[in-house]
Structure 1
Amino acid sequence: MTTKDGTTHFAPELHIPNKTFDIGFYKNFGAVEHFCFRNDDGSIHVAELNIDGAIFHVHETMRHSAGSLEPISAKGVTAVIGLFVPDVDEVMQKAIKAGATQVNAPRDYEYGYRQGMFKDPFGHYWQIQKKIPQ
């Protein structure tokens, strides 16, 4: 996806179970919803959100998408979302308060990053990180 200013960036698509009606976790975590298209029964088809300008989508699992699974039915992690932020500890606390489960507490690593990891209510793993100034 190319933005208005011509830069290129990733916009991951996180698959959620069919018949999901509530993605409030993401809003409670601080995401801003750009749009949300719902199915006739009111369940979510696709929503576009952003966290401080980092765009991502949540999308119901589609039968025609070969091999696409969400973490619950896949019985495991399908991808890890890396989110670079100014304050790892603050963002981790916000995620836990919103309903995430901590996987790894934030800590500094020898390769120059401070990182922590959480699992969101849909089973997606998020690695919250920042490069430590040397």
Structure 2
Amino acid sequence: MSTYEEKLSLLSEMIAFAQIDGQVHEREHQFLCIVASQLNVDKSDFEKLFMHKAEKVIIKSEHQRILQFYRLALLMHADGVLHENEQIAIREMGVNMGLSPFAMRSVLAEMQKSPSGLIDPDILLALFRAQHN
């Protein structure tokens, strides 16, 4: 991730996703705070994104798009409730990012099988690579 604007765009997209079910659950907010911290986004800039969306920046790197999809999937599971709107939205967002619907479905299935909801990064990448062949 190269620019601050890209980081704000990613977080803005994640916040909009978290709000799909009508509210941002406390665990979703905590997860978003962790991501903002990992991206080195200033706390006040992060909090402003809840009121004003950042300008959309297109993610060029496939690796970064896969990572963003995974972040969204983790966010979707953060509150412990899988809303139908979230499942529809994550698929739409993934397709808009140019990701394989089959790979996305596989990733979401693996996450549901996992007791923690996490999957190994190598498995994540392998699921997307398998769609290239």
TM-score norm. by structure 1 comes to: 0.31
Normalized per residue, the structure richer in helix is 2
TM-score norm. by structure 2 comes to: 0.31
Give the structure with higher Rg (CA): 1
Higher relative contact order, chain-length normalized (CA < 8 Å, sep 6+): 2
Normalized per residue, the structure richer in strand is 1
